[in-house]
Structure 1
Amino acid sequence: MDVHVRDLRYFVAVAEELSFTRAASRLFIAQPSLSKQIRQLETLLRVTLFDRDHRSVALTAAGAALLPQARLIIQQWEAAQCEISHVVTAGRMTVTVGFHTRIGRGLTAGVTARMATLLPGWKLLFRQVSWSDPTVGLASGDVDVAIAWLPMPDNREFSWRVVATEERWVALPVGHRLAAQEVVPLDELADEPFIALPRTAGQLREFWLGNDQRPAPARVVAEAETAEESLEAVGSGLGLVLLSSGNAEIYQRDDIVCRPVAGLTPSELAVVWRARDERPALRVVIDACARCLCDQPGAMTPAG
């Protein structure tokens, strides 16, 4: 049986982190699954790659020998994927844009118009991705570029440009005790039930629970895969969700009231792409997305 590139990615993550816990978090998989994959790799290669005990993880001589070769194989595979993607994209003249929440903000019409001038004959496809994938389809290769809420996984695989900042608001069911307030202090949400993103969303889940600023974590009563699911839960009275001010406008519903939250830093919307993807057509789309979003009221152009 041949070794899979995925197994080498897992090995490199553990080798760089020297921690199965940190590596699992970086890879968005459960630690037991990661340990199992590493054991299978060791069995396949008939070597021990890591010395493990309860306090530390260290590379063996065999692991140290494999590490630079594994990195090279991964880099070559990514280069091959990028080249194939370039050929396919050029052939089909299509760029796929991923998103978690409705984009709105005039993006679709604006970018389509710019592409008609700069890339005649090309078209955009928009694809909604579940909150369970914090890379918005970029890691899997399902999309070419994403319109995403930060934070993104900080693993040096992605680049982004912040194109807008929007205050964080809270969505409440009509009739909720806080619905009559013009602004809701963060302290007032301390004991409220919240609908969370899936655990695999990582830091994004924490951000949209407000846990980055709360003195104690939010009380989670349910999880939702999409913005639509989370707002259905709010409308039914199950719990509350945080959302951006722009999405409060986009997702208006008769059974929900949205209010600004005092005490939270703003959210950031970004155009995100794979760092090694240098296709000229993709760069045109990135620049067009950034320009269209930065032209919207309340948006900002990042320094540099």
Structure 2
Amino acid sequence: MITDVHGRELRSFLTVAEELHFTRAAERLYVSQPALSKQIRALERHLGASLFERDRQGVSLTAVGTALLPHARAVLAAWEAGHEAVQRAREAADGTLVVGMSTSPGRGGLLPAIRSRFTAAHPEAVLKLRQVGWEDPTAGLADGSSDVAFVWLPLAGAERFHRVVVATEPRLVALPETHPLAARTRLDFADLLDEPFLALPDSGPELRDHWLALDCRGGRPPAIGGVIAGTDETYEALVGGLGVCLVASGNAPLLARDGVVTRPVDGLTPSSLALAWRTDDTRPLVRNYAHAAADVAGSSRSNPIGCDFQGLIDGPGSGKS
């Protein structure tokens, strides 16, 4: 019966259908090939039809397997979405707030200060920090895996989010200490126009363009020396001489290690770090964490709030940066 089919069997079928190779599929699923074959045979028994043709040339889908494939994908995708919804509901019920970030927003105790103000008002709440790769410029806001997030502006899909700027910092250049320009104490951006740059993934074109300083190039396209998706990857690319990159001053210590230096650059606009949250998320925990971030940012002379927080909280959604 169809009701006897397990999600495990559907996932095994989908993996074999994608790989068209039982050994590779078993490796992806971290099971033995005999165990995988057993799961496929069990599914075929439930359905009363063969799903794969096996011969010396390899593995291929039968007509029945081809018919099942899109439905198996849909069922598993729906289950994943349901699991995530349950997780978010559990976290909301137990007072958990997930804070996403792509790099740690240290910056003179910014994060502990926000936590202190927030927990003073909500001692029962649980803050869960979540590190998100640079492939997602919203740090988990877009897919709902984060409730609030520290993000760099400009923010992709900005109309979907409220935000408050918590730090405004100059952009420095990071480069290998052996680079000829590293001998200078200060650079002009014109000196860097012909240098290969390390670029963010193209999943966030607005942010990628910002860290390539397209706004300061006068229409000259950048030369891309490599794509980076994390701090350690950036450091290795710099040491390897693949290119130079821009970095916010607050993040400079993450890269300025053995073999890499950072230098101030004239002719660049500053960078802005913001706390963002979804416009349709009106939960008190979210609003109050945002208020705590605004209070902390507003109390710092070096990191003033860059927008009208009250308007963002109470007015219609605004993602303008």
TM-score normalised per structure 2: 0.65
- Following the alignment from structure 1 to structure 2, what is the Cα–Cα distance between the partners of residues 252 and 126? 25
- Following the alignment from structure 1 to structure 2, what is the Cα–Cα distance between the partners of residues 289 and 249? 23
Aligned to 1:243: 247
- Structure 2: runs of 5 or more not aligned: 1-84, 309-321
Aligned to 2:199: 196
Question: Residues 142-178 of structure 1: CA distance to partner in whole angstroms, max 9, x if unpaired?
Answer: 1000111100124521111122210010001112111
Equivalent residue for 1:264, pick from 262, 265, 268: 268
Equivalent residue for 1:228, pick from 196, 208, 232: 232
Alignment of 1:19-98 (within 5 A): 87-98=89-100
TM-score normalised per structure 1: 0.68
- Distance change in 2, residues 1:91/1:221 (3 Å): same
8 Å contact from structure 1 (residues 115, 123) kept in 2: no
Give the residue type in structure 2 aligned to 1:163.
V
2:188 equivalent to 1:152: no
Percent pairwise identity: 41
Size of the aligned set, in residue pairs, is 226
- Following the alignment from structure 2 to structure 1, what is the Cα–Cα distance between the partners of residues 88 and 202? 33
Aligned to 2:14: none
Pairwise CA distance, 1:251 = 4.0
- Following the alignment from structure 1 to structure 2, what is the Cα–Cα distance between the partners of residues 303 and 95? 24
Aligned to 2:102: 100
8 Å contact from structure 1 (residues 111, 289) kept in 2: yes
- Following the alignment from structure 2 to structure 1, what is the Cα–Cα distance between the partners of residues 172 and 150? 20
Structure 1 or 2, whichever has the larger Rg, is 2
8 Å contact from structure 1 (residues 102, 250) kept in 2: no
- Distance change in 2, residues 1:255/1:295 (3 Å): farther
- Structure 1: runs of 5 or more not aligned: 1-82
2:170 equivalent to 1:167: yes
Pairwise CA distance, 1:89 = 3.4
Pairwise CA distance, 1:298 = 2.2
- Following the alignment from structure 2 to structure 1, what is the Cα–Cα distance between the partners of residues 299 and 173? 25
**Greater CA deviation, 250-259 or 92-101?**
250-259
Alignment of 1:278-293 (within 5 A): 278-293=282-297
